[in-house]
Structure 1
Amino acid sequence: MLDLETILRDGMNDPDAGWHMGSFGAIAEFHHVAGDPPAPIAEALEQTTSRGAIRIDTLQGVRPVAYETLSPKPHRWSQTVSLCLPEKDARMNRRDVLTALGPDTDAIRSEDHDAVLFDMGLAQSQVDFCIRTSDPALIEVLQPQEGRSLFDHDNPAMGAILRAHPHRVALTPLGRVEVYQMIGGPDTGGTSPEGPHTHVLPKLLRANRTHSANAPIPKGWVPCCGFHPKSPVSGQLGEDKTFDPEAFDRFQTLLADWGINEYTEQKRGGWCALDAGQTPETWEEPRTRVARAGLRNAIRQWRRQRGDSDLVVEWARAFDRGEADADPENPGH
């Protein structure tokens, strides 16, 4: 049986792994950046760089759910281990207005303990999405707006936040992600900075969902932290790379213990059919989103491992067509 804490601690020390905490529409991501000074060796479930930090405070009651999602690119897929809690244990404060929380005495770095936390009031189920600042000018703008929505058309707070680039802090029942870099927008050329960054997307927030429909989280459970082990098919910047069989096999071990049976059974069946030389006419198309993803990823993964053949091209034409059920490749969206 896999030891969750050991696997997560190894992930904290893997510069090719990534993490996120948040909800569908408000997410904080932690990644290493190639060329930066090496991060300290993590002895606990915590990692810090000059760009951001992550800390997992507890694994009490956690159910790990491993899954692979479809990429819009037909030769790729993504992989995640979601650390889930029962709905009743995953609830955070769900504040819907800007709220000052006082000094962040639980900040990961001691130098940030005196900075002031403000809950942005996004009213998300499993995350209190906050900003943190010691900037007197920003605090002077924010304090009079307490008790108001940041999205009120005449509220100056959001504009001040976007100009000042305070730290963003995602608080969940399991821990926190802190982002020290600038907010993606006009000051960053319209793109998120490399490494730790955040997304707050009002259109997705309005859906009032805890996670993407393409993430096969069991009913009654809520993802509170996402772990993204090293990908076998893409790099940290989303670039294609030569297939990495070791990274692939490592995640298949996690999937075998923590995956969704409907997905893994369809994937195993697809591989067996391809190995046996069966044509796609012998296979019934799956009826559920999860099972379809299993079959489609089985085809992609068989192809990446074995190369092209007339047979696998036939299977792809039959079952892996279009972009339906494919997820954007930003974790957590």
Structure 2
Amino acid sequence: MAIRPHPDPAALRVVLHRALADPDAAWSLGGYGAGATFRRGAAEPVASPCGGRPGLVTPRGALVLGGAEGLVPVAYETALGRDDWSQALALCRPLAALPPCPVPAVSEIGPDREAARAQDRDGVLFCLGLPLRQARILARVRGDAVGLLRAACGRPADAALWERLPGLGATLVAAHGCDRIEVVLPDAPPGPRAHWFDKLLRLGRLHAATAPIPAGLAPVIHLHPPHPVMEGGYDPGRHAAFQDLLARWGDPALAALKRRLLAGEAVAIPDARPARAVARVALAQRRCLPAR
């Protein structure tokens, strides 16, 4: 993986600000196996987090962004099949700057002073103790549910507890420093979602093997810009917007390889997973791009 230039916090802030205004953009926070995603509908009521923080609040959840300083953006595309691909801007931090995994047991933290809405700050937070360094997976509850979660403290969280959270009126919170996603449970697509896959967590990976994240970095937040292929067909503006992110924060060697493939050049594909993935992405995109 090629070394990227130093991040530009000012440029990153502009990108994040524009994405917050786009109802088709999605966000995720967490690690490999557990975390939360935030989506909103175009007609859904939306407000800003209290305290003047950047982000979005809807009836189904919230996104709060702590700031661009210290984040290293990594843009990449992933082949999903013969005719499809995904795209993401991973906002990473140096692995050495991440805290260790929490104690593997449910524990009480106290009132949620950083809640996106002021009226939620009296809710009580409990850490579920999931083995992640990129985020803490928390449950915010009130009333009788507080006592029920206190009774679970000191023991590892399990699938049975996870399944009980919606019935307790809990809000799932994935938090890293001042960054957070809140998910009002029970969740349902296409809104904010919470996820926990114990088998994936046990692998101890920082990210999926298909994500070309440079060594020494760990993705904390992902911005998922709207895909260029929509129900109405191919959108060249969306495609161009993400190609700009790739040019700025993607791997230069992979970007050059894809340009040559899209231009129809006969190129020997290096025998490496990222290069093979780029070749598949280029093949899928050539079916969408206008004829040259």
CA contact (8 A) 2:113 2:121 kept: yes
Q: 2:98 aligned with 1:60, yes or no? A: no
- Return the offset for 1:46: 1.2
Greater C-alpha radius of gyration = 1
Q: 2:173 aligned with 1:169, yes or no? A: yes
Q: Which amino acid aligns with 1:60?
A: E
Judge which range, 61-70 or 139-148, deviates more: 139-148
Q: Distance in 1 between matches of 2:143 and 2:48?
A: 32
Among residues 79, 84, 90, which one is paired with 1:70 in the alignment?
Answer: 79
Evaluate the alpha carbon distance shift between residue 86 and residue 305 of structure 1 in structure 2; reply closer, same or farther with a 3 A threshold.
Answer: same
Q: Distance in 2 between matches of 1:289 and 1:144?
A: 47
Q: How does 1:1-333 map to 2 (within 5 A)?
A: 3-37=11-45, 39-40=46-47, 45-72=54-81, 74-91=82-99, 93-136=101-144, 138-151=145-158, 157-173=161-177, 175-183=179-187, 192-234=188-230, 240-272=231-263, 274=264, 282-306=266-290
Q: Which amino acid aligns with 1:204?
A: L
Evaluate the alpha carbon distance shift between residue 301 and residue 44 of structure 1 in structure 2; reply closer, same or farther with a 3 A threshold.
Answer: farther
Q: Distance in 2 between matches of 1:71 and 1:241?
A: 20
- Return the offset for 1:140: 2.0
Q: How many residues align?
A: 282
Give TM-score, length-normalised by structure 1.
0.79
- Return the offset for 1:125: 1.3
5+ long unaligned stretches in structure 2: 1-7
Q: Distance in 2 between matches of 1:215 and 1:199?
A: 19
- Deviation per residue, 1:171-219 (Å, 9 max, x gap): 1135111111414xxxxxxxx4321111111111111112111111100
Identity %: 33
CA contact (8 A) 1:28 1:199 kept: yes
- Deviation per residue, 1:126-171 (Å, 9 max, x gap): 11001101131x222211221110129xxx6445324324100001
CA contact (8 A) 1:92 1:173 kept: no
Superposed CA RMSD: 2.2
Q: Which amino acid aligns with 2:189?
A: P
Evaluate the alpha carbon distance shift between residue 243 and residue 44 of structure 1 in structure 2; reply closer, same or farther with a 3 A threshold.
Answer: farther
CA contact (8 A) 2:48 2:55 kept: no
Q: Distance in 1 between matches of 2:238 and 2:131?
A: 37
5+ long unaligned stretches in structure 1: 184-191, 235-239, 310-333
Q: Distance in 2 between matches of 1:139 and 1:44?
A: 28
- Return the offset for 1:306: 3.0
Q: Distance in 2 between matches of 1:165 and 1:28?
A: 17
CA contact (8 A) 2:101 2:131 kept: yes
